[in-house]
Amino acid sequence: MRLDYLRELEHCNLCEWRCGVNRLDGERGVCGIGIPEVAAAMLHPAPPASYTIFLAGCNFRCLNCQNWEIAHYPDTHETVRGFVDPGSMAEEALAAIRSLRGRLIGADRIFFSGGSPDPSLPFVEEVVREARRRDSGVKVNYDTNGFATEASLARVLAISTSITYDIKAYHDDVHRALTGAPVAPVLRNAAEIARNAPEKLWEFRFLVIPGITVNEVAPVAAFIADIDDELPFNLLAFRPNFVLERHPPAIQYLMEEAVREARSTGLVDVRVHGYPAVAGERPKERASPVRERGGELARSIAKRAGCPADFRDCGSCGLRQSCPIKRYRARRSV
């Protein structure tokens, strides 16, 4: 079994935290993982239909994480599959795509997700190399939070057929309060894909969180529209989970308003996913003070969960190896 492709983990600078730690020798950066580990893998019908490989670990510490059990591994002590030989992983994925069930759901690619696949990029590349050695035409989707370095992004573009790209917020204070990371690299990489590889973009995705990101819809949509008003923009309806397990969901009127705001910027292709069944009621007065304090609200929620920072920056935090957010245990979800 060749492992030379993991050599760069001896001084890891795959994402914009640029931790420089030796992950092969037990040192840990913001993502907290050593060698790449597979959390789970399965056929998945969500667009694009695929065989999805979920990688353990993440370089963000989002308050709303829907996959927190694997994103914050190993702090969660979740049981994961662990390291899988890339050749075996490739064979498994191709067999699943070609299976009867795979054909029935229309699976036509290998989908790398997480957590975040960025800290596991060398492993992802090796799985893709092995898969294309067996089937040169196999498609690959890469799911990212956009925090890769410019060099890593070029590698992602080189192996990907399609990219699903999350933009959590437009303003830095809101993005940091929600994720613990600065927004500049995310917007830089989004612009790079939109301008120079739009054919590889499956969609930009944005999660509408009441009181936190609702005021970010228009700025994010305008940012995208200024590059190309036909780029796909998918609005996701928030449902309570992780640290935000008691936060209100994005009900119907809020999503309808988000769609209107996105389209008002000139974007043509605006979609909605996870549309909630609860209609709710439009408030009598527009709650602008609440809408405008998204960063402040997210920071206060993070503090209640144990984060001591007034300005979240997980890369410089002294608690990054004993992070209360990573160690949070959700009790409720819908």
Q: Are 25 and 83 in contact (CB under 8 A)?
A: no
Query: CA nearest 219: which of 258, 250, 277, 192?
Result: 258
Q: Are 162 and 139 in contact (CB under 8 A)?
A: yes
CA gap 243, 22 in Å, rounded: 30
Q: What is the phi/psi pair of residue 154, to 5°?
A: -60, -35
Residues 6+ positions from 76 with CB-CB distance below 8 Å? 68, 69, 70, 326, 327, 329
Strands 38-44, 50-55: pairing is antiparallel
Q: What is the phi/psi pair of residue 286, to 5°?
A: -65, 120
Q: Which residues pair with 205 in a beta bridge?
A: 166, 234
Q: Does domain 4-304 have CATH number 3.40.1190.20?
A: no
- Tokens matching residue 243: 């640290």
| Count of residues in the chain | 334
Q: What is the phi/psi pair of residue 91, to 5°?
A: -65, -40
Task: Count Cα neighbours of 166 within 13 Å in the Cβ-side half-sphere.
Answer: 20
Query: CA nearest 180: which of 273, 247, 116?
Result: 116
Q: Where are the domains of the chain?
A: 4-304
Query: CA nearest 211: which of 300, 311, 329?
Result: 300
- Can you give the pLDDT at residue 277? 54
Over the range 221-259, which residues count as b (16 or more CB within 10 Å of their CB) and which as e?
bbbbbeeeeebbbbbbbbbbbbbbbebebbbbebbeebb
Ordered alpha helix ranges (H), the chain: 68-71, 86-98, 100-105, 121-134, 150-159, 172-179, 184-196, 217-227, 252-264, 288-291, 294-304
212: burial class by Cβ within 10 Å (0-12, 13-18, 19+)?
Answer: buried
End-to-end alpha-carbon separation of the chain, Å?
A: 42
Residues 6+ positions from 272 with CB-CB distance below 8 Å? 234, 235, 236, 237, 255, 259
Provide the whole-model pTM: 0.93
Q: Are 190 and 146 in contact (CB under 8 A)?
A: yes
199: burial class by Cβ within 10 Å (0-12, 13-18, 19+)?
Answer: exposed
Q: Are 302 and 323 in contact (CB under 8 A)?
A: no
Q: Would you give per-residue pLDDT tens digits along the chain (334 residues)?
A: 668 999 999 999 999 999 999 999 999 999 999 999 999 999 999 899 999 999 999 999 999 999 999 999 999 989 999 999 999 999 999 999 999 999 999 999 999 999 999 999 999 999 999 999 999 999 999 999 999 999 999 999 999 999 999 999 999 999 999 999 999 999 999 999 999 999 999 999 999 999 999 999 999 999 999 999 999 999 999 999 999 999 999 999 999 999 999 999 999 999 998 765 554 444 444 444 444 589 999 999 999 999 999 999 999 999 988 999 999 998 854 4
Kindly compute the dihedral angle of the four CA atoms of residues 101, 104, 105, 106, in this order, to the nearest 10 degrees.
120
Tokens 């917020």 label which residue?
169
Residues 6+ positions from 79 with CB-CB distance below 8 Å? none
Q: Are 118 and 136 in contact (CB under 8 A)?
A: no
